[in-house]
Structure 1
Amino acid sequence: MHREKILLVYDQECPVCRAYCQIVKIRESVGDLVIVNARECSEVLNEITAAGLDLDQGMVLKMGKKLYYGSDALHALAVISSRSGALNRINYYLFKSERLSSLFYPPLRFCRNLLLKLLGKSSINNLMNS
């Protein structure tokens, strides 16, 4: 039986994003989570850029043909996540609500952007490169 591939596109240069993507697990019944580095050319990156989604301002989750962006991506991940392990349970409770996700996401994005600046990392600039 063919399992759906669910793509999570994130910034591998961000240590917090990288840690999150290594920890988050989805339920086996949903499909296979495939982690995609937003800094490497790929078909899904082209699709995200064509949709006008700025990867410097949010991660993207692709399920089927639908793209979830920023807080919507975190919320969708929480809904399909496994509850195994303390960090996956925390992820679920923090982001299972669309309202909480949209409340928490802007400060998380700000911290990510500040961290990258402090580390001297460049922006992804996927919209500028299109």
Structure 2
Amino acid sequence: MTNKQILLIYDKECPACHFYCQIVRIRQSVGELVLIDARDNPEVMVEVNAKGLDIDQGMVLKMDGQLYYGADAIHLLALLSGRSGVFNRLNYWLFSSKKVAAILYPVLRSCRNVLLKILGKTKINNLEQDGNDRF
């Protein structure tokens, strides 16, 4: 990983998370956004879990060696994002306020959890307990 790479660790099996991560853009002057599927990268998850962060309850953004979680991650992404395109302008407008991000993120997380339950997807941190030794 170079200093200019910013890692976004998320659940690729969640359609809403995957859509958001595919469409969000950061300014080129900030660095390169690298998307990491938490289900397929146990080496990355070691650090996330060691910090006590539950990937099932929030995405993680790693920038300059620092981990940002959940509402803080989406808030920072909004600040780093370009303003081109309707989605990125909306993302900036909604999440550039730390207070608004803190209010909206739990609502979005609840919707995500319902969506995964409807789709029959297993939680990431439960994979190990279910007998799957990927993590």
Q: TM-score, normalised by structure 2?
A: 0.90
TM-fit CA distance, 1:44: 2.4
Question: 1:21 corresponds to which residue?
Answer: 21
Question: 1:4 corresponds to which residue?
Answer: 4
Question: 2:61 corresponds to which residue?
Answer: 61
Question: 2:93 corresponds to which residue?
Answer: 93
Please give the root-mean-square deviation of Cα atoms over the aligned residues, in Å: 1.7
> Which runs of structure 1 show a deviation greater than 4 angstroms over 4 or more consecutive aligned residues?
126-130
Q: Which runs of 5+ in 1 are unaligned?
A: none
SS at match of 1:6: strand
SS at match of 1:62: strand
2: CA distance between counterparts of 1:35 and 1:84? 20
Q: TM-score, normalised by structure 1?
A: 0.93
Q: Mean Cα displacement is larger for which, 62-71 or 37-46?
A: 37-46
TM-fit CA distance, 1:63: 0.2
Contact 2:58 2:109 in 1 (8 A): yes
TM-fit CA distance, 1:42: 4.1
SS at match of 1:107: helix
SS at match of 2:79: helix
